[in-house]
């Protein structure tokens, strides 16, 4: 995925006055905080530098991941308002605008003044609030997004429940693609289903999560790196992979897939292995060339995509329990 041209140009404009040396040091500090799962607000950086380091290194990947997840939100009726919790510079709201052009009302909760300042450059007409979103009654909006923010609250389960109460149509939650974050996402999933929320994605069913102990459900979004992104992260690759866990809840039932591919497909000359969650279990499907149509579908299948029931278990595919 690429950033929209206007967004990439805006990023480069906002970072044009940053010293490359200072920005590089800030990127290292921020990256260390992310690796250690520390709140970014605790990073000891000069005013404004932490927010610019985020723009240089994290914005593109988080934007792309959110765009990916928003594809699972029903477009009928189209959401016209979005509530962004722990908004940073408005990354999720910008992704929502790119996905749902009918959005006309945006409310963002962000305590960091530097993020609000930069975010206003992207979303000057939005309603920016500096309140702690866990301490106020959230205003109802069609679409509520909590991207990488619930894990930094004192009680993620209660925060998720309040976010759901504010969602008129859908609630989207994203978290880091780590075992610890998935354990939290799993608890939120259970809590909101018990509260009556309809789980639209990624799960094919709303029963107990079948992911075995010691494993975790996460996905990947690849994003193209700009030259600025490569310089800031000192990376040689032209792309970056963002791994994340997510949940999409709706107020009303929507179609769910029969299965979801939960691992990167393993391609061999005469066999393709797909690890698929069927809702009540996780299984491995081994596809051979004997079925030309199925082989073609498996070759095109990717991690995170739905796997259709009509091609799920044909005679040409063998099924086994996953090797764990």
Query: What is the spatial distance between Cα 78 and Cα 91, in angstroms, rounded to a whole number?
Result: 20
Residues 6+ apart with CB under 8 A from 285: 273, 274, 276, 298, 307, 312, 313, 317, 318, 319
**Alpha helix locations (H) across the chain?**
5-14, 20-35, 49-57, 59-70, 91-99, 113-122, 156-166, 179-194, 227-233, 292-300
pLDDT given for residue 20 in this prediction: 67
Tens digits of residue pLDDT in 191-240: 999 999 999 999 999 999 999 988 999 999 988 766 665 555 565 566 67
Instruction: Using the structure block, give the residue that is written with the tokens 């040409």.
Output: 316
CB atoms within 10 A of CB 26: 25
Residues of the chain with pLDDT under 70: 19-22, 24, 26-47, 225-239, 309-324
Q: What is the DSSP string of 66-79?
A: HHHHHTTS--SSPP
**Can you read off the two tokens belonging to residue 288?**
């051979």
pTM for this predicted structure: 0.88
Provide the 10 A C-beta neighbour count for residue 48.
15
User: What is the per-residue pLDDT for 234?
Assistant: 60
CATH fold of the domain at 5-250 = Rossmann fold (3.40.50)
The pLDDT value given to residue 235: 58
The helix/strand/coil state of 97 is helix
- Decide the pairing of beta strands 266-268 and 271-277: antiparallel
Residue 170 C-beta-side C-alpha neighbours within 13 Å: 27
First-to-last alpha carbon distance for the chain, in angstroms, is 31
Contact 245/262 with Cβ under 8 angstroms?
Answer: no
Dihedrals phi, psi of 192, to nearest 5 degrees:
-75, -35
Q: Domain locations in the chain? A: 5-250, 259-320
DSSP assignment string, 256-301: --SEEE-S--EEETTEEEEEEE-SS-EEEEEE-TTSHHHHHHHHH-
The pLDDT of residue 240:
79
């Amino acid at each position: 995925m690429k950033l929209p041209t206007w967004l990439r140009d805006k990023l480069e404009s906002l970072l044009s006055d940053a010293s490359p040396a200072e920005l590089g040091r800030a990127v290292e500090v921020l990256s260390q905080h992310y690796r250690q799962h520390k709140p970014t607000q605790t990073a000891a950086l000069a005013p404004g530098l932490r927010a610019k380091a985020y723009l240089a290194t994290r914005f593109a990947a988080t934007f792309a991941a959110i765009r990916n997840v928003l594809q699972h939100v029903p477009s009928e009726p189209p959401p016209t308002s979005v509530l962004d919790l722990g908004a940073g510079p408005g990354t999720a709201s910008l992704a929502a605008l790119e996905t749902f052009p009918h959005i006309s009302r945006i409310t963002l909760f962000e305590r960091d003044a530097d993020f609000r300042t930069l975010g206003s450059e992207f979303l000057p007409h939005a309603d920016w609030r500096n309140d702690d979103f866990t301490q106020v009654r959230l205003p109802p909006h069609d679409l509520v997004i909590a991207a990488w923010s619930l894990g930094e609250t004192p009680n993620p389960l209660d925060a998720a429940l309040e976010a759901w109460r504010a969602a008129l149509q859908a609630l989207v939650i994203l978290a880091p693609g780590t075992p610890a974050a998935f354990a939290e996402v799993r608890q939120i999933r259970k809590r909101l289903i018990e509260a009556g929320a309809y789980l639209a994605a990624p799960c094919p069913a709303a029963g107990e999560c079948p992911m075995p102990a010691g494993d975790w459900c996460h996905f990947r979004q690849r994003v193209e790196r700009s030259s600025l992104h490569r310089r800031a992260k000192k990376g040689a690759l032209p792309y970056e992979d963002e791994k994340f866990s997510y949940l999409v809840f709706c107020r009303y039932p929507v179609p769910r897939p029969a299965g979801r591919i939960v691992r990167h497909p393993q391609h061999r000359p005469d066999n393709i292995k797909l690890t698929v969650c069927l809702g009540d279990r996780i299984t491995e499907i081994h596809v051979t060339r004997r079925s030309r149509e199925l082989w073609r579908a498996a070759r095109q299948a990717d991690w995170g995509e739905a796997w259709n029931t009509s091609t799920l278990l044909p005679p040409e595919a063998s099924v086994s329990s996953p090797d764990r």
